[in-house]
């Protein structure tokens, strides 16, 4: 257990596991000049929060990662591992406590691993996320004077997630649903996750009870017996309606009509009951086949003026309230007048492109996954955007081809996965010379690295707007505006 809620570990009674117990080893104070080995105890002053939510301090100029420690705290820690450039250590005792420390509101915080920052007050989380962005640009782009705007947080940083995907299991003679503890196949029972929309908790819990009554058992990998693998729920923000999908290991769902009847009676907010079959051993959650057992085929959802119609497997942003704020920052950055050609690279289901389409001459989206492109086209039709086109392909292949053919986008938006943009794409962006480049990123490190390349190819960094899409976790999303130097 990491000691995130600040209770000191009882070191006298409980030696730490592993060969090197700390008993008898000296406690090093910072800069004592001795070489530190695993098993040693050190005193560290925590300077900042790292990308995984851990506290980061320095010991003899070496970075020390201490899970559960907060900036400003002085902690006693037990060295777990030393590498050439860093070490990891386990929190033993907090000698000086941060005023930003709080008791994690969720009792499963330490076990679950889904959230990393519940031991920090929300204003402190927001400051830490700004620091994460600053630190990334210092480290990877050598920029110290960053045009960083204050992060946009949530008024209520709880109950924001619109989708829950929970594994089913059998524990202590009970049907449980939860997440696997990080790095293991041990299921942590989560019956009331506070970052999920309350309707999702209610539906999951009732469905579990109904399944139990009907003797429909969770599938167990070990014995290959049972039925239900995963319970997926998604709530529409506007409508409050819930789309429920039961994923089974078996091709059939026993007592189907009774199940439907009871769910309809007890959970009036459920608008769809779907059944997906996954009889494979892959780590993928969904199988290929989804059937609607009862109700609407798709869940209607809205983001600002845009309308979406989501099938059970369709991708949708997990925090709609903050997504609107992020996309508004993108719209401000794009500063469209109605004459522009906009390229939306890594467009997913087309939401950013469609957000911009009313102010643009033409929008072209590029996305790798064909199903997402189909959804993007459907979303364009639903929102009446007839100036938006979506194309399946690799952004790093298609954009260079277009540029070679003389296509000159006025604005390029990129929203790549955590690994950042492909080098070939950065090269094509430099060659395309758009007046504005809007970079949406969920990873400050790759954002900073890519910005360094872009700054060398004629762009200037105008501003960075961080948005807190996932309160209580260490994730931070940024919308960055780069403009051409010669503009």
What is the residue whose two structure tokens read 């604005």? 411
State the residue number with the nearest CB to ligand SAH. Answer: 348
Pick the closer one to ligand SAH by CB: 93 or 477: 477
Instruction: Determine whether 317 is exposed, middle or buried from the number of CB atoms within 10 Å of its CB (0-12, 13-18, 19+).
Output: buried
Angle between helices 256-266 and 198-213 (to 10 degrees): 140
Pick the closer one to ligand SAH by CB: 30 or 424: 424
Closest Cα partner for 244 from 212, 219, 215, 210?
210
> Can you list the positions of beta strands (E) in 260-361?
270-277, 289-295, 299-303, 306-310, 341-345
The helices-and-strands tally (H runs, E runs) of the chain is: 10, 22
- Please answer whether residues 312 and 448 qualify as being in contact, where contact means their C-beta atoms are separated by less than 8 angstroms: no
Sheet holding 362-367, edge to edge: 388-392, 362-367, 341-345, 411-414, 436-441, 477-484, 459-467
Tell me how far apart the alpha carbons of residues 63 and 58 are, in angstroms, rounded to a whole number: 4
CB of 395 to ligand SAH, least distance (A): 4
371 carries a ligand binding annotation: no
Tell me how far apart the alpha carbons of residues 111 and 441 are, in angstroms, rounded to a whole number: 28
> Can you list the positions of beta strands (E) in 259-398?
270-277, 289-295, 299-303, 306-310, 341-345, 362-367, 388-392
Pick the closer one to ligand SAH by CB: 295 or 409: 409
CB of 344 to ligand SAH, least distance (A): 7
Tell me how far apart the alpha carbons of residues 209 and 421 are, in angstroms, rounded to a whole number: 46
Binding site for ligand SAH (CB under 6 A): 317, 346-349, 351-352, 366-369, 372, 394-396, 415, 417, 422
CB of 295 to ligand SAH, least distance (A): 26
Q: Is there a catalytic annotation at residue 451? A: no
58 carries a ligand binding annotation: no
CB of 165 to ligand SAH, least distance (A): 17
Q: Which of 115, 347, 442, 451 is catalytic?
A: 442
485 carries a ligand binding annotation: no
346 carries a ligand binding annotation: yes
Indicate the DSSP class of residue 358: G
Pick the closer one to ligand SAH by CB: 396 or 468: 396
List residues bridging with 295 in a β-sheet: 272
CB of 319 to ligand SAH, least distance (A): 12
- Report the Cα 482 to chain-centroid distance in Å: 24
Pick the closer one to ligand SAH by CB: 130 or 415: 415
Pick the closer one to ligand SAH by CB: 294 or 308: 308
Instruction: Report how far apart, in Å, the C-alpha atoms of 356 and of each of 137, 222, 234, 335, 417 are.
Output: 28, 50, 26, 10, 21
CB of 467 to ligand SAH, least distance (A): 12
Catalytically active residues, by annotation = 442
Give the residue numbers of the binding site for S-adenosyl-L-methionine.
Answer: 317, 346, 367, 415
Give the residue numbers of the binding site.
Answer: 317, 346, 367, 415
């Amino acid at each position: 257990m990491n000691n995130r809620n600040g209770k000191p570990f009882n070191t006298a009674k409980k030696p730490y596991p592993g060969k090197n117990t700390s008993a008898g080893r000296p406690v090093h104070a910072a800069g004592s000049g001795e070489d530190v080995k695993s098993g040693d105890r050190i005193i560290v002053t925590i300077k900042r929060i790292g990308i995984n939510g851990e506290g980061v301090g320095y010991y003899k100029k070496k970075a020390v990662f201490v899970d559960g420690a907060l900036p400003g705290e002085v902690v006693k820690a037990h060295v777990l591992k030393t590498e050439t450039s860093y070490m990891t250590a386990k929190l033993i005792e907090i000698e000086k406590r941060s005023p930003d420390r709080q008791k994690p509101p969720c009792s499963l915080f330490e076990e679950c691993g889904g959230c990393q920052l519940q031991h920090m007050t929300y204003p402190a989380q927001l400051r830490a996320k700004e620091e994460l962005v600053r630190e990334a640009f210092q480290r990877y782009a050598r920029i110290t004077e960053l045009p960083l705007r204050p992060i946009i947080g949530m008024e209520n940083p709880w109950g924001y997630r619109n989708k829950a995907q929970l594994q089913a299991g059998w524990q202590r003679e009970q049907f449980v649903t939860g997440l696997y503890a990080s790095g293991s196949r041990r299921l942590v029972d989560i019956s009331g996750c506070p970052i999920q929309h309350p309707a999702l908790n209610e539906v999951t819990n009732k469905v579990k009870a109904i399944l139990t009554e009907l003797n429909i058992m969770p599938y167990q990998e070990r014995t290959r017996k049972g039925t239900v693998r995963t319970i997926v729920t998604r709530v529409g923000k506007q409508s409050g309606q819930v789309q429920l999908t039961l994923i089974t290991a078996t091709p059939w769902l026993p007592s189907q009509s009774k199940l439907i009847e009871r769910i309809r009676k007890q959970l009036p907010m459920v608008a769809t009951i779907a059944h997906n079959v996954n009889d494979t051993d892959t780590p993928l959650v969904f199988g290929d086949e989804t059937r609607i057992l009862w109700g609407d085929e798709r869940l209607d959802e809205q983001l600002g003026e845009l309308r979406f119609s989501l099938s059970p497997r369709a991708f949708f942003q997990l925090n709609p309230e903050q997504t609107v704020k992020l996309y508004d920052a993108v719209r401000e950055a794009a500063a469209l007048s109605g004459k522009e050609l906009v390229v939306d690279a890594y467009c997913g289901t087309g939401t950013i492109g469609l957000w911009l389409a009313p102010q643009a001459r033409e929008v072209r989206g590029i996305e790798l996954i064909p199903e997402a492109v189909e959804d993007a086209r459907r979303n364009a039709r639903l929102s009446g955007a007839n100036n938006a086109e979506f194309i399946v392909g690799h952004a790093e292949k298609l954009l260079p081809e277009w540029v070679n053919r003389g296509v000159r986008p006025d604005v390029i938006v990129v929203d790549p996965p955590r690994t950042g943009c492909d080098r070939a794409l950065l090269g094509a962006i430099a060659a395309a010379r758009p007046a504005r480049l809007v970079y949406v990123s969920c990873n400050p490190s790759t954002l900073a690295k890519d910005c360094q390349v872009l700054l060398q190819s004629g762009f200037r960094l105008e501003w960075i707007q961080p948005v807190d899409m996932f309160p209580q976790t260490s994730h931070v999303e940024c919308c960055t505006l780069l403009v051409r130097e010669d503009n």
